Chain A
Amino acid sequence: MKVGLFIPCYMDAFFPNAAIATLELLEKLGQDVYYPLDQTCCGQPMSNSGCNKDAHDTEELFIKNFSDCDVIVGPTGSCVHHIRDNFDAIEQTSEVKHVRQNTYELVEFIHDILKVREFPWAEFPHKVGIHNSCATLRSLRTASMSELGEPFFSKPKTLLSAVKGISFAQPQRPDECCGFGGTYSVTEEAISAQMGLDKVRDHHDAGADYIVSADTSCMMHQQGCAERNNVNIKFIHIAEILNGARS
C-alpha cells in the first residue's frame, strides 16, 4: 500500500515537529510513506470562504501530487473533511474520486484502517484534554457528538489510552467549537478569539496540562489565545504523543 503523506500549509510552516512525528509514526507502523514535494494545500481556505472557483488550480495540483497513492493520510481533520466532502472545484474524474474516497485523517487511518491499538514505545505522563476539531468530530465522526445523544466513543481517546502514564481531563463543554473556522478566525477575529480563550480556559480549569489535537489549525488558534491571555497550558499534536514524545 502506497501511503501519500499530506502535510497542509499551516503544519508545514508552523508545526514541522508534528509533521515529522506523523511521518515517523506511520513508518513505525510499517507503512511505505511517500511525500510529494510539490504539495501546498487542499484548497480549503478558498472553498471555505465561498470562492470555490479560486480553489480550482490548487485542487488540481493536489490531485497531481496524490493520484498515484493508494491512500492519502493527513494529520489534520479539517483538510481531510474538505477533500472528502467539499473538494468539487474541479471536474470529478475517476482520479479525483479515487483521491477523495481514499483520503484519511491520521487518527482514523490508524484506528479504522490499520486497526492499531498499541504503541509500546509511547509514554506521556501528563494530563491531557482532547480537542476534536469540529470537522473531525461532526464531519469525519471520529468521536460521538453530544447533541445526538449517541453512545460514547472517541477514536483519539482510544488510541491515546494505549499510551503509558497518560491521563485525561474532561472539559465542561467537550464539543464546543474553539472558534477557528478557517477564514472565520480573521473575518470575525474578536468573537473567534473569545471562543478560543473560553475553550482553552475550559481545558485548563478541568486540569489539563496539555491540549492534544489532530488538527493543527485549531491548535495554532488556541495557542495564540492561551498565550495572549496567559493561560498556562501546552499544546501537542496527537501524532507526537503516539510517536513517543515525552513532553
Chain B
Amino acid sequence: MSVKPVAHAHEGAKFLEEKAHYHFHDERLWDVRQKRDQEMHILPEWQELRQKASEIKEHTLANLPEYLEQFEKNAKANGIYVHWARDGEEHNRLVNEILQSHHAKSLIKSKSMITDECEMREYLEPQGITVTETDLGERIQQLDNQLPSHVVLPAVQKLTGDVAALFAKHYNTDPNDNDPHSLTEAQRQAARPIILNADAGMTGGNFLVAETGSFVVCTNEGNADLSANVTGLHIATLGIERIVPRMSDLGVFIRLLSRSALGSPITQYTTHFRKPKKNGEMHIILVDNGRSDRLAMDDFWSSLKCIRCGACMNTCPVYRRSGGQSYGAVYSGPIGAIIDPTFNKTKYSTLPFASTLNGSCTNVCPVKINIHEQIFKWRRVLVEEHEIPFVKKEIMKMAGRLLASPRLYRAAIKGTNVALSTMPRFILYNYLNPWGKHRELPHPVKQTFNSWYRQNRLKSAQKQSEKGGQVQ
C-alpha cells in the first residue's frame, strides 16, 4: 500500500484562510505561552527544575527495563493486573479481552492519546463496544471524527460557533447558542448518563512510579476520576516511557507539567492510583509501539523524555498558524515532527520540514528535549533515505553545484552591471517561484556588491582576471 506524505503546507494554508479561526488559535495559544512565562518568572529555580527533570528522564530511559520490572512487581503486589503490549494491535486485543471477559459493552475513556496512537476505537467499535470520550475537548473531536489537535487542548482549533453547530447536530441543542457555559452544560447533560451507565472506564496516565507500582493521572476536568471510579473496572493505558523511579521525583514533574502546559501552577486534579477499589479490578497496559526502537536511535531517543505538556506547540509560530490538524497525526507540533516519523517515515516525511528551526520549542521544553536540532537531523535522515521528493533533491543538487562554482554563480546572477530583475534563482533555481504568491520580490539593484567591489576597491582592476583571483 502506498502511503502519501501529509500535506502540511496545504492544510496549514487552508487553516489560515479561515481568518477568524487562525486569529483565535494564534492568540489563544500565545496567551498560554505568556502565562507559562509568568509562572517561570515566579519560580527562580525554573531552569534547575528543567535540568533535574531532564536528568531523571535520561537516567530512567537508560535503565528502562529495570524500572519497568520494578514497577510491574510492585503494581502486581498492589493487586493491579499488568499487561505488556508490543504494538497497537496487541494493545487493542488486550483491551478487548478484558472488556469481553466482563461482558462490558460501553467504555468511557479519559484523554489518552496513546489509544489514538493504537487506533483503539476503530478496533473496538466493530466488536460491538462503544467508546465515549469524557474530556470535553476530546469529545468534541470525537463527535467531529477528528484526531485531537493539541495534546492538552484537543479542540483548541475550534471556535465556540463550531462547537454549537456540532452539538446541535449531535445533541439537538440550539445552533445559535454559542455561550461556552451552555455548551459545557449540554455536554454534561449528554455525557452524564453515558458515564453513569458505562460498563468500564479507561484512562491514560501521566506518570508511572516504579518504586510504588502506582500511577498518576492529571486532568483539569476531573473526568479521569469519573472514568476510573464510576465502574468497577479501570483499565489504564500508558507508554513505557512514562515511568519515573521514585515518588519523590514526581514533585519535579508535577511542578513543571501544568506550568509549562497552561501556565497554571498545578492541574486541578492530580490523582494517584495505587490499587483497585474494593471489589473492583484495575489493569495497566504498558505499551511499547515503537518506543524501544526509538530508544535505540542515537539522534532521536531523547524525544522519549516528553511529558506531553504541549508547551512546544504553544510557542511554535508554525503550529499556531497552521493548526494541529494540518499535521495529520496523533501528535502534532514540534514534538510530533520528531516522533511521528518514527511511526511512519514516508507518511510523516513532510513534518520535519514544517519548521523554521527557530528553536523556541527547545527553550520551553520542560525536559530539555533539543527539539529543533532533532527536526534538523530528521531532514538529513529523510533525504538520505529518499523520503523527500525527487524534484526537491534535484534542485538542491543543482544549487550545490552552482554555489560551488564562482563562475557559474556570477553568471547566474548576471552580477556585473546588469540590473537584477529576476528572482534569486541562483539560490534555488525555480524552486523559489512560490515566493511571490504572498510576498513581493526583492528589489532589483544596479550592481551586486561583488561587482561594486571590483569596480571601486580593486587597485588594479585590469590585472584582476575574469576568473577573479583573490586580490586585496
Say yes or no: B427 contacts A9, CB within 8 Å: yes
Size of interface on B: residues with Cβ below 8 Å to A = 85
Chain B residues near A221 (CB-CB < 8 A): 439
How far does the alpha carbon of A146 sit from the alpha carbon of B30 in the complex, in Å? 13
- Residues A190 and B353 in contact in the complex (CB < 8 Å), given A49-B379, A50-B388: no
Q: Which of A32-68 contact B (CB under 8 A)?
A: 34-41, 43, 45-46, 48-58, 60-61, 65
Chain B residues near A227 (CB-CB < 8 A): 439-440
Q: Which of B296-345 contact A (CB under 8 A)?
A: 315, 317-318, 321-322
Chain A residues near B468 (CB-CB < 8 A): 37-38
Q: Chain A interface secondary structure, helix, strand, loop or mixed?
A: helix
Chain A residues near B315 (CB-CB < 8 A): 147
Size of interface on A: residues with Cβ below 8 Å to B = 77
Interface bits A21-32 vs B (CB < 8 Å: 1, else 0): 001000000000
Say yes or no: B449 contacts A20, CB within 8 Å: yes
Say yes or no: B358 contacts A134, CB within 8 Å: yes
Chain B residues near A185 (CB-CB < 8 A): 435
Say yes or no: A175 contacts B470, CB within 8 Å: no
Say yes or no: B397 contacts A51, CB within 8 Å: yes
Say yes or no: A223 contacts B317, CB within 8 Å: no
Say yes or no: B396 contacts A39, CB within 8 Å: no
- Residues A14 and B9 in contact in the complex (CB < 8 Å), given A184-B356, A186-B431: no
Say yes or no: A190 contacts B13, CB within 8 Å: yes
Is A158 at the interface (CB under 8 A from chain B)? no
How far does the alpha carbon of A143 sit from the alpha carbon of B126 in the complex, in Å? 57
Chain B residues near A195 (CB-CB < 8 A): 317-318, 321, 356
In the complex, the chain A residue whose C-beta lies closest to that of B350 is A187
Is A113 at the interface (CB under 8 A from chain B)? no
Interface bits B365-383 vs A (CB < 8 Å: 1, else 0): 0000000000010111111
Say yes or no: A61 contacts B426, CB within 8 Å: no
Is B103 at the interface (CB under 8 A from chain A)? no
Chain B residues near A57 (CB-CB < 8 A): 400-401, 403-404
Say yes or no: B424 contacts A54, CB within 8 Å: no
Say yes or no: A37 contacts B317, CB within 8 Å: no
How far does the alpha carbon of A58 sit from the alpha carbon of B404 in the complex, in Å? 4
Is A170 at the interface (CB under 8 A from chain B)? no
Distance in angstroms from B374 CB to nearest chain A CB is: 13
How far does the alpha carbon of A181 sit from the alpha carbon of B428 in the complex, in Å? 14
A–B Cβ pairs within 8 angstroms, 24 of them: A9-B403, A9-B424, A14-B443, A14-B445, A16-B452, A37-B453, A37-B470, A41-B427, A50-B353, A50-B378, A50-B379, A51-B400, A58-B400, A147-B363, A179-B317, A180-B356, A183-B428, A183-B431, A184-B355, A186-B435, A188-B322, A195-B318, A224-B435, A224-B439
Known: A45-B403, A173-B30, A188-B12. 18 other contacts (CB 8 A): A13-B420, A13-B442, A37-B450, A37-B468, A43-B403, A50-B379, A55-B400, A57-B404, A65-B470, A138-B363, A146-B37, A179-B356, A181-B356, A190-B437, A193-B437, A194-B438, A224-B439, A224-B440
